[in-house]
Amino acid sequence: MVEAAAKEAPGRGGGPRPPAGGPRFALRFEDGRGRLALSQPFRFALGTIDALELDLGPLRFPLDLSAGPRRFRTRRTRVRACRMRVDVPALVAAAVEEPHALRPLAPARHGLAWALRDAFGTVAFETRAKAEGPDLWVGIAEARAAAEGPAPPLVRVHVAARAIGLDVDEERGVLRAPRLISTLLAEALVPHGWRVPDDRASRLGIEVLGPRRVAVRTLDAGEAEGAVDDPIWERARRLAPVTRALGAGDADEARRRWRALRER
C-alpha cells in the first residue's frame, strides 16, 4: 500500500472549491486501485460520519494529484466501509411535514417506540428494524390510538410513512428504506460537491443507541447479519392483504380478508 501525501489541497486544478467545512479525505493506493478514507469524523445535518472508505476503482498513472482528493469529487465511487451515528430528531425534522408530526419516545426491542400525530389525533406505535443487504426494513409491532378516526391506527401509520417517503411493501406489510447508507451519504456529501457513493454491494448493520441516536454501519466481510427473531414480521405478512384493502378504502374487501384469516 502506498500512502499519498494528498489531503484537501487548496487552489490549483480540480475544478471549483467545495463549500467550506466539507469532509476531508486522504487518498491512498492498494493494488492499483484508489481509495478515499475520511480523515476525521464529519458532522452533517443528520448526524456524524465517524468513518468512511470509498473505492475509486483502478487508476491510471501518471495521475495529477495537485488538487488532492477533491479531484475525485465527481468520480463514481463504491462504499467499502462506513460507520455513522444518525440524529433521529434531526432526521424526523427533515422528513416529516404537516399534517404529520412524529416523535421518538424510547428504545423498544430492535427498534423504537414513537408517537405520531396526524389530522385525526395521536397514534402510539412501536417499530422493529432489520437489515437486508443495503436496505432497512421496519415492521410495526403494534399501533394504538384513543380514537381511530377514519382508519385503523396501523393504516394511519402506513399513510404517514408514505408521506415521509418510505416504501410500503404491499406483500410483506412492512416499511422499507432502500439503500439507507447512500441516502444518508447524499445528505452529507452532495452539498459539498461530492457524488453519491454506491452502496448496493454493502450489507447494512443497525443498532439503536437510544431515542435520539441510531448507529448505522456496513458489515465486514464474513460478518453475519443480525438475526431479528420477532413474530411481527410474520404477523405483518399475514395482515398485509387486510392493510392493503384498508389503505385503498375498500372496507368490504378488508372485512372479507380478515374473516378469511380468522377461519384458517
**pLDDT digits over 13-41, tens only?**
444 454 567 999 999 988 889 999 999 99
What is the spatial distance between Cα 82 and Cα 44, in angstroms, rounded to a whole number?
Answer: 15
- Whether 186 has a pLDDT exceeding 90, the answer reads yes
What is the spatial distance between Cα 184 and Cα 241, in angstroms, rounded to a whole number?
Answer: 32
Q: What is the pLDDT of residue 146?
A: 86
Decide if 152 contacts 255 (C-beta within 8 A).
no
Q: What is the pLDDT of residue 243?
A: 81
500512502: which residue's cell? 3
- Whether 9 has a pLDDT exceeding 90, the answer reads no
For 164-168, what is the mean pLDDT?
90
Decide if 191 contacts 177 (C-beta within 8 A).
no
> What would the grid cell of residue 214 be?
441510531
Q: How confident is the model at residue 1 (pLDDT cuts 50, 70, 90)?
A: very low
Q: Which has more confidence, 95 or 228? A: 95
E strands, the chain, are 2-3, 25-30, 33-38, 42-44, 47-58, 78-87, 101-108, 111-118, 121-132, 135-145, 167-169, 174-177, 204-208, 213-218
What is the spatial distance between Cα 241 and Cα 197, in angstroms, rounded to a whole number?
Answer: 36
Name the percent of the chain lying above pLDDT 90: 59
List phi, psi (to 5°) of 244.
-65, -45
pLDDT in tens, 47-79: 999 999 999 998 877 777 777 788 889 999 999
Q: What is the pLDDT of residue 244?
A: 84
- Whether 254 has a pLDDT exceeding 90, the answer reads no
pLDDT in tens, 104-155: 999 988 899 999 999 999 999 999 999 999 999 999 988 999 887 788 898 8
Mean pLDDT value across the chain: 87
